[in-house]
Amino acid sequence: MSQTYANMLAKVKEFHDKHEFSKKENNGHDMAYRILLTIEELGELAECFTKGKPQSEKAEELADILILIIGHAIAMNVDLEEAFNHKMKEIMNRPAIRGELGIRVTKYKQE
């Protein structure tokens, strides 16, 4: 990996600026709309698996989701790098629980 988060953030900011996402009439920073776009992209990633699409298409859909997530941070004025580091520190101290579908790392107790 050669890019830093700062590099990726700058590219997504440039994309947002180019298309004027922050203008109210464009709804580019409306989180309800952004969440719907994220669900759409998650569906496209899921489709790659259910339809046996190649790794290159899976990677493209995953990149779409990453770009959206970084864009969410821009729209919400969140320091995602700081939030990421805080959350990683927290979850590294959580136990793993094996559920019906697989392992989970959660603060909730299994019933």
Looking at residue 74, what is its pLDDT?
A: 98
Residue with structure tokens 């890019």?
Answer: 3
What is the DSSP secondary-structure string of 3-69?
--HHHHHHHHHHHHHHTTTTSGGGTTT-HHHHHHHHHHHHHHHHHHHHTT--HHHHHHHHHHHHHHH
pTM of the model: 0.89
Top CATH class of 5-78 equals mainly alpha
Residue pair 21/48 in contact (Cβ under 8 Å)? The answer is: no
Domain layout of the chain by residue ranges:
5-78, 79-111
- Output the tens digit of pLDDT for each of the chain's 111 residues: 688 999 999 999 999 999 999 999 999 999 999 999 999 999 999 999 999 999 999 999 999 999 999 999 999 999 999 999 999 999 999 989 888 899 989 887 656
